[in-house]
Amino acid sequence: MDFDTIAAIATAPGEAGIGIVRISGDRALDISDKIFKSERISSLTKEEERKLVYGHIINPKDKKIIDEVLIVYMKGPNTYTKEDVVEINCHGGIVPVRRILELVLENGARMAEAGEFTKRAFLNGRIDLAQAEAVMDLISAKTDSGFDVSLNQLEGSLSKKVKDLREKLLSMLAQIEASIDFPEHDVEDSTYRKLMDGGKEVYQEIDGLLDTVYTGRILKEGLKTVILGKPNVGKSSLMNALLRENRAIVTDVPGTTRDVIEEYINIKGIPLKIIDTAGIRETNDVVEKIGVDRAKELINMSDLTITVFDASRELSDEDLEIIKLIENKKSIILLNKTDLDNKIDKKDISKHIPDKKIINTSVIKGDGVDILEDTLKDMFFTGEVKINDNIIVNNVRHRNQLLKAKKDIEDAIEAIKAGLPIDLFEVDIKNCWENLGEITGDTVGEDIIEKIFKDFCIGK
């Protein structure tokens, strides 16, 4: 495919050690020859390919030095975009990268749109659509496990599975075609049986992929967790105990009036995303300070509540109120401060709220925290989560396509079962094939492609 030459700042804006301006397209070398000067070489020729070359970016108009840089030229097609690529490593900071980008644009490149480098990698056939989406998921990953899942998809695990399924569907279609083309070979039971077997196999595999969606979401976004309890029961101490032993990633979410702090704690491979941690820490009490309505809201938003009670005090009305709130929610209950004289035990709680996991803890002494961690893992994953061995669907678009494909193959199976004329379910199988193809981008419209890449960041 023929494209114009694009350029963008590839690094995040702000002060940093280095910044990178990336150029991709036929004119990349041309442009860099115009603006890059080195004492050692006159041009980035083939001998210099894939080597970092030291020199200066100089404005060809007034010969003024723009910055001191290291530049690398990578000849297509073995590059990110499959086109010729030049990357200019300049000093980090807003000014040098912007100046260099402007100069590159003045000398023949066009400003790249969001995700355009990756889009070219897709359009030029280096990666498929699911892999391109994995690139974006990698960049935006906030959890280690989310990153690992996406890396796996970038390597092509999901794509391969989808391709295999489409092959199976194609061979089913071929069987149907053969039966239609030669009506004198009356469509035998064995053909129906084969189609039925094929259909069921495809159905099961799609269903298996859909089964991973929940895990995929948790690994990607974290298990949304609310820690509840009256003041002084030990919520902050629990948070601190969990944080001490487990790596945490803290991100600020800009764009809200008050910056929300999201805290991710990695527990036995499960990322917990603690909702409104600031609330817990600063106000010392979720329910009292933020009110029952907000507490309810938080509970509804969450995948899990960890509710803490103080074993050294009798249950109060407030405790009972909290119990009511978590009745229908996935919850773990901690009976904390068991190192003190106990006024209540597990039974006092379970008689109000049966069927919940209750753990005795002394957060201060560190007792029971490991049981909490094991319980968490057992609750959300049966067995180890081996990301590298499994295909895990973690992208909403992929899930939706799989759901459509599942419906198609279900319809086909129904029709086969009912012994309907063979060409009647041909269309279902074809739809299934197409819907799966939209995951990898084999059968996808321009509008969908546009929509996917629009959400990328500039420079990727």
Which residues of the shown chain bind ligand GDP in the complex (CB under 6 A)? 229, 231-237, 284, 336-337, 339-340, 362-364
- The residues, ordered by sequence, that sit 6+ positions from 71 with a Cβ below 8 Å of its Cβ are 32, 36, 44, 52, 53, 55, 86, 87, 88, 89
Q: How many CB atoms lie within 10 A of CB 389?
A: 9
Residue with Cβ nearer ligand GDP (326 or 416): 326
Tell me how far CA of residue 192 lies from CA of 64, 176, 188, 246, in angstroms: 77, 9, 7, 55
Residue with Cβ nearer ligand GDP (187 or 295): 295
Q: List the alpha helices (DSSP H) in 249-345.
A: 277-283, 286-301, 317-325
Quickly count helices (H) and strands (E) in the chain.
17, 14
Residue with Cβ nearer ligand GDP (191 or 232): 232
> Least distance (Å) from ligand GDP to the CB of residue 292?
17
Rounded distance between C-alpha atoms, residue 306 and residue 233, angstroms: 12
DSSP 183-207: TTS---HHHHHHHHHHHHHHHHHHH
Residue with Cβ nearer ligand GDP (339 or 373): 339
> Least distance (Å) from ligand GDP to the CB of residue 380?
24
CA torsion angle for 283, 286, 290, 294 (degrees, to 10)? 150
- The residues, ordered by sequence, that sit 6+ positions from 401 with a Cβ below 8 Å of its Cβ are 435, 436, 438, 439
> Least distance (Å) from ligand GDP to the CB of residue 256?
24
User: E strands within 163-267?
Assistant: 223-228, 248-253, 260-267
Residue with Cβ nearer ligand GDP (34 or 281): 281
Residue with Cβ nearer ligand GDP (140 or 236): 236
Residue with Cβ nearer ligand GDP (368 or 441): 368
> Least distance (Å) from ligand GDP to the CB of residue 336?
5
Residue with tokens 């193809």: 437
